[in-house]
């Protein structure tokens, strides 16, 4: 071998070794990011525990106590028949506001810790639902039946939410008693394989009928494509099923719909098919290569996604159910029916909001097929809180977020763990919260990065996924936002379908629908009592003072104090002053009422007309904002019982609005936000969150003497003559030192598939 070649190879080898050594030395010197003590301005306390969700142990204790003290045969709900007695749900009963504030603010006694239990009594001669207050926890000694007190009468049994065992019984009825009636049709038209019990999936509609007491449900039949959403694969077959009778052997299919035609039974469908009198569209269960619902990417390089980390450790702190962030503090929890809720929200030690909670989410559909046209989902009935499954690191939340487990007991024999179903993180939004560059008068730059604390849950309710966020800003503002994603609900595409949406697949109609989401916002601005003040603008003609021959149109501020609940109920799409604020009697430095403003972000569709027979069951959606006087008996705007009996709603929100005085009173704002969704091709396979986020802000309005973020230690200010490379002048110059660290990335784990529940 040539000497020169050998020499060159030796030099190359030495250079390679030196390069590797250098890399290893550099890596060894790279320090891990600090994950020690969190930097907060406040200190934790245990007072927030009065709002903490029931623990697994407490849930077990309540169930055991009820089984030992209700002198009737209580069966496990997983084995329950409609005629059985069983425990449907157990959840925390928050203390009354009066008792809570006495404890939080005045050192009064700690409120008793109690649970609310819902129990089905199907074996009674007059079957009914009962609600019990059980306490005190952790060692209960009483169960008080509060049904009559809360509802002024019995809770009819037909209002009960459908449980998993009932859906399973319906499914078995379809498989064993109904599908065999149309063997030829199902096999030859839809490719049905009798040995495959998972071949079809059925999607429930709701409400279940057209009059109180009915329990007749339209079910859309879909191809159950494994590994993707069956929601995009309608077969054109739909069944109206009567499951009112407590004896499931007496259940029956009342009507059948296929491809635009209504029939009396599947037997009639089969007969017409065999005679060639049925207009059919022959289809096959979609394969992976032609599955429009597949979310499986052709190529994945998730490791390229930018990673946000905290070089000096988290700047928020969590203890039990309390979160501290800069000057913010709040308690959090999850209601099994309604979802995420916050209590006792304070800024710099002053309470701004007593309760901020999701109340209800509804969807009203349109279609030329019966399942779609009759669907008015009330998601609280299905359990928004129980539907918050484990969040995926790096996708659902930033990879380095803090994840928190939740427990619930609803339609389950034992408490269910939803691991990592809440995430909390600080987010640099990438846009300044405020900034100014000046070259007029003098030269300088001042700015503040907009970092916010976010607490998030994502509820998967059948086809839709709702991302619920509460966000806390350094200027004292709170943002509530919900973003929609997941699958659209669809019908079989047939003649006339284009009047109800867009065609999005070979046989798939994306059906038009509305989303409305309702929140309860119990603001306590500068104390419990507030008034509702409306500010807006108008133009007035004014003579020009320095030239009386001319007029100009002067912008003027208008102000009105709204004194009654009727004045403070603003209907969707109706006029409403653009500045609505809860004002206190306290004054700021400039002699203005200390206030918080409600600012809405919504593009809601139209709510159901008043002539609709189910209008009253969801008529909170009629109002974009309604402000009422706080009452303990008006805790929630909806009820889990409204879905199955919307014709005689258990809770009718409009009854809250009865012209009572709201001036200098403890007030509650009920805020409804939403959007109209006309599905289109780009909703396949999933609706995206971009452009599908709505919500509202709670913004300080003369509450402070100036923007409180001016005191933030994150702010940057410098002038031309200063040394911008100096850390004391410009902290950004030191990032190469302070942020030169390797984040401690936890291993990826996921247990979200452990807690799936059956709808059908």
Indicate which residues carry an active-site annotation: 379, 464
Give the 3-state secondary structure of residue 681.
helix
Three-point CA angle 378, 381, 384, nearest 5°: 90
Nearest to 159 by CA among 213, 112, 197: 213
82-103 exposure pattern, b = at least 16 Cβ within 10 A, e = fewer: bbbbbbbbbbbbbbebebbbbb
Q: DSSP string spanning 163-210?
A: PHHHHHHHHHHIIIIIGGGGHHHHHHHH---TT-TTSEEEEE-SS-SS
- CA-CA distance, 395 to 195, in Å (whole number)? 38
Residue with tokens 């199907």: 122
- CA-CA distance, 461 to 468, in Å (whole number)? 13
- Give the CA distances from residue 205 to residues 113, 189, 363, 417, 643, in Å, rounded to whole numbers and listed in that order: 37, 24, 11, 28, 11
- β-bridge mates for residue 631, sequence order: none
Write phi, then psi, for 759 (nearest 5 degrees): -95, -50
CB contact at 8 A, 614 and 178: no
513-523 and 350-365 beta bridge pairing: antiparallel
Three-point CA angle 362, 363, 364, nearest 5°: 125
CB contact at 8 A, 186 and 192: yes
- CA-CA distance, 642 to 650, in Å (whole number)? 6
Q: What are the residue ranges of helices labelled H in 2-42? A: 3-29
Given phi > 0 = left and psi -120 to 50 = alpha, else beta, which region is 578? alpha
């Amino acid at each position: 071998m040539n000497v020169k070649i050998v020499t060159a190879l030796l030099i190359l080898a030495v250079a390679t070794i030196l390069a590797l050594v250098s890399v290893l030395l550099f890596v060894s010197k790279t320090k891990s990011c600090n994950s020690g003590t969190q930097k907060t301005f406040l200190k934790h306390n245990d007072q927030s525990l009065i709002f903490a969700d029931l623990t697994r142990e407490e849930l077990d204790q309540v169930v055991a106590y009820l089984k030992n003290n209700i002198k009737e045969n209580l069966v496990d709900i997983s084995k329950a028949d409609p005629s059985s007695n069983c425990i449907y749900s157990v959840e925390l009963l928050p203390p009354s506001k009066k008792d809570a504030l006495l404890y939080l603010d005045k050192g009064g006694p700690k409120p008793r810790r109690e649970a609310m239990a819902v129990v089905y009594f199907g074996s009674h001669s007059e079957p009914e639902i009962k609600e019990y207050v059980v306490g005190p926890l952790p060692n209960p000694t009483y169960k008080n039946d509060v049904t009559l007190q809360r509802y002024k009468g019995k809770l009819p049994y037909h209002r009960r939410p459908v449980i998993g065992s009932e859906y399973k019984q319906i499914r078995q009825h379809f498989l064993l008693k109904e599908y065999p009636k149309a063997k030829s049709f199902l096999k030859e038209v839809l490719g049905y394989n009798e040995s495959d019990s998972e071949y079809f999936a059925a999607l429930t509609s709701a409400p279940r009928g057209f009059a109180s007491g009915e329990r007749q449900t339209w079910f859309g039949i879909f191809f159950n494509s494994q590994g993707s959403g069956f929601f995009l694969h309608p077969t054109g077959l739909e069944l109206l099923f009567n499951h009112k009778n407590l004896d499931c052997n007496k259940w029956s299919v009342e009507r059948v719909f296929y491809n635009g035609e209504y029939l009396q039974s599947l037997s009639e469908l089969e007969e017409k098919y065999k005679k060639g009198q049925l207009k059919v569209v022959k289809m096959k269960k979609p394969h992976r290569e032609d599955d429009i619902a597949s979310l499986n990417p052709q190529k994945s390089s998730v490791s390229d996604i930018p990673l946000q980390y905290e070089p000096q450790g988290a700047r928020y702190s969590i203890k039990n159910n309390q979160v501290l962030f800069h000057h913010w503090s709040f308690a959090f929890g999850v209601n099994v029916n309604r979802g995420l809720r916050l209590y006792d929200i304070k800024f710099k030690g002053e309470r701004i909001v007593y309760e901020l909670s999701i109340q209800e989410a509804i969807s009203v559909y349109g279609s030329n097929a019966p399942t779609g046209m009759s669907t008015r989902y009330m998601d609280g009935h299905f359990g928004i809180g129980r539907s918050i499954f484990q969040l995926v690191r790096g996708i659902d939340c930033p990879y380095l977020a803090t994840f928190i487990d939740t427990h619930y007991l609803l339609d389950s024999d034992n408490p269910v763990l939803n691991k990592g179903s809440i995430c909390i993180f600080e987010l640099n939004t990438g846009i300044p919260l405020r900034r100014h560059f000046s070259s007029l008068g003098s030269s300088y730059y001042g700015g503040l990065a907009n970092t916010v604390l976010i607490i998030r849950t994502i509820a998967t309710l059948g086809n839709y996924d709702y991302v619920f966020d509460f966000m806390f800003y350094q200027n004292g503002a709170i943002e509530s936002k919900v973003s929609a994603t997941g699958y659209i609900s669809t019908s079989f595409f047939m003649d006339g379908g284009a009047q109800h949406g867009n065609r999005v697949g070979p046989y798939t109609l994306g059906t038009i629908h509305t989303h409305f989401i309702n929140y309860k916002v119990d603001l306590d601005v500068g104390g419990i009592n507030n008034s509702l003040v409306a500010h807006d603008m108008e133009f007035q003609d004014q003579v020009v003072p320095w030239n009386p021959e001319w007029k100009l149109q002067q912008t003027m501020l208008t102000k009105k104090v709204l004194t009654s609940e009727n004045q403070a109920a603003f209907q969707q799409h109706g006029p409403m002053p653009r500045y609505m604020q809860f004002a206190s009697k306290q004054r700021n430095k400039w002699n203005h009422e200390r206030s918080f403003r409600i600012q809405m972000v919504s593009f809601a569709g139209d709510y159901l007309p008043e002539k609709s027979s189910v209008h009253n069951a969801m008529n909170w959606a009629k109002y974009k904002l309604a402000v009422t006087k706080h009452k303990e008996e008006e805790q929630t705007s909806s009820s889990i019982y409204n879905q199955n009996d919307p014709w005689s709603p258990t809770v009718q929100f409009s009854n809250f609005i009865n012209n009572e005085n709201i001036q200098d009173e403890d007030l509650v704002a009920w805020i409804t936000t939403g959007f109209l969704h006309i599905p289109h091709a780009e909703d396949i396979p999933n609706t995206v969150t971009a452009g599908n986020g709505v919500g509202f802000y709670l913004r300080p309005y003369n509450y402070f003497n100036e923007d409180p973020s001016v005191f933030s230690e994150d702010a940057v200010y410098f002038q031309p003559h200063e040394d911008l490379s100096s850390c004391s002048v410009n902290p950004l110059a030191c990032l190469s030192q302070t942020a030169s660290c390797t984040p401690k990335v936890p291993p990826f784990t996921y247990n979200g598939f452990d807690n799936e529940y059956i709808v059908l």
